[in-house]
Amino acid sequence: MISQPGEKPSTQKRYELISRVLRNNIHSGRLPEGFVLLEGPIAELMQSSRAPVQMALKMLEEEKLIQRFDGRGFMVGQGTALTSPRRLDIRSLDLHVPDEIDEALQSRSMWEQVYDQVEQAVASSLIFGEFRIIETELSAHLGVSRTVVRDVLSRLNERGLIRKNQSSHWIAGPLTAQSVRERFAIRSILEPAALKLAAPAIDYAAVERLSRLASEGTSEFSETEDFEQALMDTCIAKVPNAEMIAVIRNIQLPLLAANRALTKLGLPRDRFAADEYRSLFRLIERRLIDPAADYLENHLKVMAQKSLARLKIVAVISESRLTVPYLTKIK
Cβ proximity of 184 and 298 under 8 Å: no
**What pLDDT, on the 0 to 100 scale, is given for residue 294?**
96
* pLDDT tens digits for range 80-139: 655 678 888 888 887 888 776 666 666 556 777 788 788 878 887 888 888 999 989 998
pLDDT digit string, tens, across residues 284-294: 999 999 999 99
Same domain? 198 vs 102: no
For residue 162, give the H/E element and its range: strand 162-164
Give the per-residue pLDDT at 320: 58
Closest CA to 317 of 254, 266, 259: 266
Query: If you average pLDDT over every residue of the chain, what do you get?
Result: 82
Report which of residues 210 and 252 the model is more confident about. Answer: 252
Which of 63, 83, 107 finishes a domain? 107
Average pLDDT value for residue range 65-70? 85
Residues 302 and 211 in one domain: yes
Residue 318 has pLDDT above 70, yes or no: no
Q: How many CA atoms lie within 13 A of 73 on its CB side?
A: 18
Using pLDDT thresholds of 50, 70 and 90, give the confidence band for residue 306: confident
Question: Are the beta carbons of 97 and 63 closer than 8 angstroms?
Answer: no
CATH of the domain at 227: 1.20.120.530
Q: What is the CATH number of the domain that holds 169?
A: 1.10.10.10
Q: Which of 178-182, 253-257, 295-299, 316-320 shows the lowest mean pLDDT across its residues?
A: 316-320
Q: Verify that 48 and 94 share a domain, yes or no.
A: yes
58 falls in which pLDDT band (50, 70, 90)? confident
User: In angstroms, rounded to a whole number, what is the distance separating the alpha carbons of residues 316 and 245?
Assistant: 35
Return the closest-CA partner of residue 330 out of 151, 163, 157.
Answer: 163
Does a structural domain hold residue 4?
A: no
Residue 325's Cβ-count burial label (10 Å; 0-12, 13-18, 19+) is exposed
- What crossing angle do the helices spanning 242-264 and 289-311 adopt, rounded to 10°? 40
- 307 in the same domain as 182: yes
Band of residue 1 on the pLDDT scale cut at 50, 70, 90: very low
Residue 116 lies inside a defined structural domain of this protein: yes
Quick count: other Cβ atoms within 10 Å of Cβ 270? 18
> Both 311 and 193 in a single domain?
yes
Q: Does 159 share its domain with 99?
A: no
Most confidently modeled of 62-71, 160-169, 185-194, 303-312? 185-194
User: Do 278 and 295 share a structural domain?
Assistant: yes
Q: Compute the C-alpha angle 251/40/86, nearest 5°.
A: 130
User: 98 is in which domain, residue-wise?
Assistant: 9-107
My answer on whether 201 and 239 are in the same domain is yes
* 212, 186: one domain: yes
- On the question of pLDDT at 2 being above 50, the answer is no
Q: Are residues 312 and 181 in the same domain?
A: yes
Both 146 and 191 in one domain: the answer is no
Least confident of 148-157, 189-198, 224-233, 257-266: 257-266
Domain count, the chain: 3
pLDDT recorded at residue 233 = 84
Give the angle subtended at the CA of 62 by the CAs of 80 and 45, to the nearest 5°: 90
pTM for the model: 0.64
Nearest partner of 232 among 198, 257, 263, judged by Cα: 198
* Domain identity same for 54 and 69: yes
